[in-house]
Structure 1
Amino acid sequence: MAIVPSTLSTFYKGVPPSFQWPVKFCIYNTVVAFVLGAATGNVSQVDRVWTFLPTMYAAYYALLPLWPSKSPLPLYPFLPETAHPDIAHNFSPRALLMFGLIFIWMCRYVTKLVAQSALYRLDISLSYNTWRRGLFNLKDEDYRWAILRSKMSPLLFQVFNLVFIAFMQNVILFVLAVPVQIAAMQQPAKLHVSDYFLAGLALLDVAAEFVADNQQYSFQTFKHSGVRQPKTADWPGARIEWTTADANRGFITRGLWAWSRHPNFFCEQTFWVIINLIPLVAPEYPGYEPPLPLGSGTPLESLFPIIPSLVISSLFFSSTIFTESVSAAKYPEYKAYQQRVSMFVPFLTPVWGLYLKLLGKKEEIDKLVYGQDLPKGKKKAE
């Protein structure tokens, strides 16, 4: 029984003070996610807390002076006495700003205070889009996990559950908060122009993601009900006059989705890139020593400051490839959509359009992707 505490003690000796609680919390979440997934047969456990964990890690770093040197309760945040006095006693305005942005990201789907139904009134304090997609329903599971489960042996799928679904995803959610840790170490006296500029971009990004998600939700509602909702029932930016051709096509190609096949994913990645950049472009940034020993001069060491951006982009790219393979098999016109519209970056869609025009295929592809019954005055992506 004494082996486990001894092992943990040895492990913590190599972990810097400001990383000890987050690492402990990450390990705990990994174990819980794996056990619950294996016991219930539902491996969407990390999905349910995806919105909250980066915010919790960010809060830990932004509020470091509040934490005691020893945890009074299991998993209660703490900052060891060996931590640098500056970060233990001084709040970092940059870390607080980043925490605020991440908190807004978490709440980007919070409903209006004056809701139109009891459904809307219930989620004033929740991440609305996660709630309405059913991820807080313990019986619901991401459809992609079911597809993967059908392609693997039970043993191999449990290995995948442990390594990627439970462990790697929890590590990713922890890594997303590393830029806030860097900001907490910087201890700037005040915010600079770069902080305000990037914060403004981050807010615009969250607003665009909000619009993209609500356009998708409005489309799916029309597709499955066949009834157009009153314009006042949809959020601003999602009040699109869906047509029968849109529903028959099966997937959304209007609004922001006419310019990007995954505008919400594009905004999500961009948001975390912006968060990653805030401490890196600050005047106080002289370089950064990785918190864990990676080996002097290794590529990983030099890339460490931008690892959050690389990790989130790699995750979304690989996940999107799989998601699109499912969509292409399900919807006949989806391959035309892939030819016409950029996967992520909306500015590339006009380039694809020009390329198809040079090949003489643009009119045919546009007919498949956008349909022939668009309301007059509505522009397609050129």
Structure 2
Amino acid sequence: MAPLLSTLARGISPTLQWPVKFCLYNAAAAYILSIITGNVSQVDRVWTFLPTIYTAYYALLPLWPNQPRLFFFPYVPETVHPELVQRFSPRALLMFGLVFIWMCRLTYNTWRRGLFNPNDEDYRWAILRQKIPTWLFQVFNLTFIAFIQNIILFLLGLPTQIAAVQQPDKLSTSDYVLATLALIDIAAEFVADNQQYSFQTYKRLGVHAQNEWPGARIKWTPADAKRGFVTRGLWAWSRHPNFFCEQSFWVIINLFPLLAPEWPSHSVVSPNSSFIPLWPLAPALVLCTLFFSSTLFTESISLSKYPEAYRAYQKRVSMFVPFLTPVWGLLLRLTGQKEEVDRLVYGQDVDKDKTQ
């Protein structure tokens, strides 16, 4: 495999050579481990780390040697433009800092849910196994679970690669605005995670957890537990506020180099270019496509478990964008369905004025 990777590397940008090799090795390792263990959630366990590793590589280009010191050790080929390894890009460093904070949040949430357990597997894969033939699931495992997911994680680092190539002297107004939005987004996703975890704890144990997480000090009721899924807090505005924030975060990261004054005409590698390529939008577009398709599958499972209540939830609350939820409420009011839908979604013990 190494000679093949070396051949492929010679045909791509020097700053992408190590990340591409790292991505393909990880994909191969994920597939091999899934066959050995019978558990296909190998990528899930490193999802929280890989985008940060790719981002760190681009943001810290001046630190890496020209040759790998150890297997998997990052390096920068001698063919890389000299200016890229002489000083750090402040924009790339800022993006790395934000992605590192994102990693800390996701790692904590993954840890407390027990998903780092080697025996744990995403429940959706078990359901998919039952729906399709074994041979087709293994094809899906090889192509999508192992390789395509790793490629998506590789793509999430590309905006930082563009920022590193731009080599700005200082941060611009757009950098400060986007950084603020990214931090707000991470905080909102942390609250959504806390509310979901708090609800699931109450649903499983029947009592409120002693630890109260920020944004999750909600007094769950037996009606909430009987319903089976969370519809309060941020979840009253979006059926998947955590997914909405996740997609929003990577869209924001994608916009850093694209809204910068240096884009697209000023960069170290291709100065004064008047051509505006579309490929830099790929990371955000691919991730949003993945989340949309994955959410459809997740909701089909929820709908099979709670057919009446979850169908009402879909009518009442937007899938992602919270600003659309009041519109759905207005449409239900106009059709005379709002009172019944609210009863199913929010429960009879909820003040109707709070569901307007």
Q: What TM-score, normalized to structure 2?
A: 0.95
| Structure 1 residues 219 and 33, CA gap change in structure 2 (3 angstroms) | same
- Could you say if the C-alpha distance between residues 260 and 39 of structure 1 is closer, same or farther in structure 2, counting changes exceeding 3 Å? same
Once the two structures are superposed, what CA deviation does each residue of 1:211-256 show, in whole Å capped at 9, x if it has no partner?
00100000011111111234xx211210001111100000000000
- Conservation of the 8 A alpha-carbon contact between 1:223 and 1:247: yes
- Aligned mates of 2:191, 2:228 — CA distance in 1: 20
Which of 168, 176, 184 is 1:196 aligned to? 176
Match of 2:342 among 347, 361, 366: 366
Q: Which amino acid aligns with 2:241?
A: P
Q: State the 1:97 CA deviation.
A: 0.1
Task: Find the aligned partners of 1:377 and 1:371 in 2 and give their Cα distance.
Answer: 10
Q: In structure 1, what is the Cα distance between the partners aligned to 2:171 and 2:250? A: 19
Q: Does the CA-based 8 Å contact 1:288-1:305 persist in structure 2?
A: no
Determine whether 1:9 maps to 2:6: yes
Q: Are 2:66 and 1:69 aligned?
A: yes
Is 2:10 aligned against 1:32?
no
What's the CA shift for 1:377?
9.3
Q: What is the distance in 2 between the residues matched to 1:305 and 1:9? A: 25
Q: Cα distance, 1:378 vs. partner?
A: 7.7
1:248 equivalent in alignment to 2:245: no
Q: Is the 8 A contact 1:259 1:341 kept in 2?
A: yes
Instruction: Give 1:264's aligned residue.
Output: 242
Which residue matches 1:107?
Answer: 104
Letter in 1 for 2:333: K
Query: After TM superposition, what 4+ stretches of structure 1 lie above 4 angstroms from structure 2?
Result: none
1:346 aligns with 2:326: no
1:157 CA drift (Å): 1.1
The answer to whether residue 149 in structure 2 is matched with residue 169 in structure 1 is: yes
Match of 2:15 in 1: 18
**Structure 2 matches for 1:166-315, cutoff 5 A?**
166-230=146-210, 233-286=211-264, 302-315=277-290
- Cα distance in structure 2, aligned partners of 1:311 and 1:288: 26
| 1:107-157 CA-partner distances (Å, limit 9, x unpaired) | 125xxxxxxxxxxxxxxxxx2110122211011100000111112222211
Q: Deviations over 1:78-120 (max 9, x none)?
A: 00000000111110000000000000000125xxxxxxxxxxx
- Are the structure 2 counterparts of residues 70 and 352 from structure 1 closer, same or farther at C-alpha, using a change threshold of 3 Å? same
Q: Secondary structure at the match of 1:189?
A: coil
Is residue 323 from structure 1 mapped to residue 298 from structure 2 by the alignment? yes
Q: Does residue 84 of structure 1 match 2:92?
A: no
Please give the alpha-carbon distance, in whole angstroms, between the structure 1 residues aligned to 2:261 and 2:97. Answer: 21
Matched, 1:130 2:130: no
Consecutive unaligned residues in structure 2, runs of 5 or more = 270-274
Kindly indicate whether the alpha-carbon contact (under 8 Å) linking 2:90 and 2:170 is maintained by their aligned counterparts in 1: yes
Residue in 2 aligned with 1:120?
none
1:266-297 per-residue CA deviation (whole Å, 9 max, x = no partner) reads: 000000000000110000112599x9xxxxx9
Please name the residue that 1:116 is paired with.
none
Q: Which amino acid aligns with 1:43?
A: V
8 A Cα contact 2:239 2:318, kept in partner: yes
Residue 72 of structure 1: CA displacement? 1.4
Asked if the contact 2:5–2:21 (Cα under 8 Å) also holds between the matched residues in 1, the reply is no
Give aligned pairs, total: 349
TM-score using structure 1 length: 0.88
Q: Is the 8 A contact 2:9 2:20 kept in 1?
A: no
Mapped to 1, the partners of 2:3 and 2:248 lie a distance apart of 42
For residue 47 of structure 1, the aligned residue among 33, 44, 50 is 44
SS of aligned partner of 1:329: helix
Equivalent-residue separation in structure 2 for 1:275 and 1:101 (angstroms): 9
CA 1:45–1:287 in 2, change beyond 3 Å: closer, same or farther?
farther
Contact 1:340–1:366, Cα closer than 8 Å, also in 2:
yes
Residue identity in the other structure for 1:310: L
Choose from 104, 114, 119 the match for 1:139. 119
CA distance in 2, matches of 1:59, 1:354: 46
